[in-house]
Structure 1
């Protein structure tokens, strides 16, 4: 999942970003509304964690812009204004969810997971292919009943491939969704992560490489 954290309190923004990255999410930061709009215009984000009272362009205007543009990015408003009337106002602007400060970090992660699943009806919390099972809610992967120890990147790459349900996912798409805006498009990060992931998944292989095109999951029994 790729997330934009638009928060002007830099310490809080860093804390959120670090925690989300530990939860296998790709995170970019914006500390003002103008920068947030620029990043939303060029990046492909599943969710934006949006401080309502941003400097530059106000969070309300960013929310209105996203709603009118009709994009796929979901909006979770994160703000100190947690009064019921403020929450209602934020939701009426088109926000998909609203979380007041201070907040429980586990709740933030759970809400982001739920929001990211909304536009992907084919990607339920538990994804399966052959004897491989990925449980996004509990961050667990097993094969043949044996739990595997995956890094955050390995977990996220496998989740993207399983969610594609057999469709081909290019290396560029994986860079956009699993890494962040600083990822070098010429890096071999995807290839190296795929190599380690295949090794951990073991045989028979379920990840197929289509040279020059991308990767897809297959059922080795077929």
Structure 2
């Protein structure tokens, strides 16, 4: 998933983003509320992790502005404000979860996995598309029973393509969902990663799944079984 972390403590923000990246997520950072709101409005995130005590604009104001702008994105608050009043206020302002500081990284990652499962519309942790099987927790991929090791970025690309199966996705859409906001759109890195993913997913099999639609983008053809 592509996740925005809005946190003004640099060490904590770096620690959280490192953990998210190791778990295969794409992580952007914002050090104050105004920058976080701007990033959330300009980019397409799957989840926002939001502190409440922020410079320039507090977390409650960020939540209210997201609602006012109609930006429907799941938000998990993580804050040292642990009293019941603030928890209720945060949830009433639209957050889907509230994690009290200090917290264990494993607990945060578990809550992120819950958001991912909800986004997929299922409680299961595995996907099957044609003869491709994906374990979202262990991040293991196989095709026709053959294990296929993927990098974090290749895994994110494959998951995004399968979630949009039989639809053409543009380079811009891939940039928004699989790369961070500092990525240079003029780079050919997307093409390179897609080429590598194709070699791993399609090269040794009779039926290729990933296709280029000239002038439009990319698609993966087939049937999602679960």
Return the TM-score normalized by structure 1: 0.91
Give 1:83 deviation, angstroms.
3.2
Q: Which residue number corresponds to residue 168 of structure 1?
A: 168
Where does structure 1 lack aligned partners over 5 or more consecutive residues? Answer: none
- Does the 8 A contact of 1:134 with 1:142 survive in 2? yes
Counterpart mapping for 1:120-131 below 5 A: 120-121=120-121, 125-131=125-131
- Does the 8 A contact of 2:165 with 2:222 survive in 1? no
Aligned-partner Cα distance in 2 for 1:145–1:76: 37
Deviations 1:74-93 (A, max 9, x none): 11101112333432221112
Deviations 1:81-123 (A, max 9, x none): 2333432221112111111112221221222232244455389
Counterpart mapping for 1:1-222 below 5 A: 1-121=1-121, 125-201=125-201, 202=203, 203=205, 204-219=207-222
What is the DSSP-based 3-state SS (H/G/I as helix, E as strand, rest coil) of the residue aligned with 2:48? strand
Bigger mean CA offset, 47-56 vs 113-122: 113-122
Aligned-partner Cα distance in 1 for 2:146–2:101: 39
Q: Give the root-mean-square deviation of aligned CA atoms.
A: 1.9
What is the DSSP-based 3-state SS (H/G/I as helix, E as strand, rest coil) of the residue aligned with 2:134? strand
- Does the 8 A contact of 1:208 with 1:215 survive in 2? yes
- Does the 8 A contact of 1:168 with 1:215 survive in 2? yes
Where does structure 2 lack aligned partners over 5 or more consecutive residues? Answer: none
Aligned-partner Cα distance in 2 for 1:133–1:209: 22
Give 1:198 deviation, angstroms.
1.1
Give 1:157 deviation, angstroms.
0.2
Return the TM-score normalized by structure 2: 0.90
